[in-house]
Amino acid sequence: MKKEKSRRNKREKKSKRKQKYIPQKALFGNGEDYYIYRMSFVEKLTGGALGFLVGAFVCMTFFRNFLLSGIVGILLILPGIGKYREFLKARRQKGLLIQFRDMLESLTASYSTGKNTQGAFEDAYGDLADIYGKKADIVHEIEMIVNGIYNGQNIEALLKNFAERSHLDDVESFATIFEVSSRYGGNLKKAVGDTYRIINEKIEMEMEIRTLLTANKNELNIMMLMPLIIMVTLSGMGSMSIVQNTPLNVLTKVIALALFGTAYYIGRKIIDIKI
């Protein structure tokens, strides 16, 4: 029985992995799912070019073979696009969190002056449009919330939908707190103010940690550049035994690249601290 249960669990896990992610749609209006980043042609070109150049340069530095360098560069075009997409996606979500913090600050100020929820979000729309411009993600989200309220949509449902599409824990926590406070007659001003202070402290703490880890990140990047610098230096000094692609040299270089790649991956995992 235990073996059958374990097999069923494994099958269920495999089936979940095979299931494609279904993008979350906006409850009202045309909102994005921030888990998915749709790259423009220029962004795809940039990511592909970075992947090709890095692969070709590293391969050329170690093996001095134009054909092999070109093949490796081509093979790294798609991984380069994928990595660049992840970078852009993470940058957009970080920017959205900071913009969301500013939205809470504006809502707190509006509630303090006695505005109701609709008026507070209208003020937040105007404030953030002046700061970030009307094309900013948070401005578009607030605009959909305000339009949804005008068209009879529930504010709690609109915030919950925004939280689901943002995939940010802080936004989801705020949506839950706002829903509970609104339904059970809680103090919205206090709830919004407390959430703003918590998120602001979290962002400041994360920035302090990043500042402290800047030296470690620089050391890690320098460590990864050292093999390339050493190979270029030895080649310039005429050390042909290093450049020659004998079976032993090729094996040694491949092992060295694998070790440095693993070390860089582990180093990035250690340095990447999430709060």
Query: Using H for helix, E for strand and C for coil, what is the string for the chain?
Result: CHHHHHHHHHHHHHHHHHCCCCCCCCCCCCCCCCCCCCCCHHHHHHHHHHHHHHHHHHHHHHHCCHHHHHHHHHHCHHHHHHHHHHHHHHHHHHHHHHHHHHHHHHHHHHHHCCCCHHHHHHHHHHHHHHHHCCCCHHHHHHHHHHHHHHCCCCHHHHHHHHHHHHCCHHHHHHHHHHHHHHHCCCCHHHHHHHHHHHHHHHHHHHHHHHHHCHHHHHHHHHHHHHHHHHHHHHHHCCCHHHHCCCHHHHHHHHHHHHHHHHHHHHHHHHHCCCC
> Rounded distance, CA 75 to CA 216, Å?
30
Task: Tell me the CA distances in angstroms from 188 to 80, 114, 141, one per residue in order.
Answer: 45, 11, 20
Checking if the pLDDT of 3 tops 60, the result is no
pLDDT band of residue 5 (cuts 50, 70, 90) is very low
Categorize the per-residue pLDDT at 222 as very low, low, confident or very high, splitting at 50, 70 and 90: confident
What pLDDT was estimated at residue 2?
42
Q: pTM to 2 decimals?
A: 0.80
- Over residues 105-139, the pLDDT tens digits come to 999 999 888 888 889 999 999 999 999 998 999 99
pLDDT at 227 (0 to 100): 79
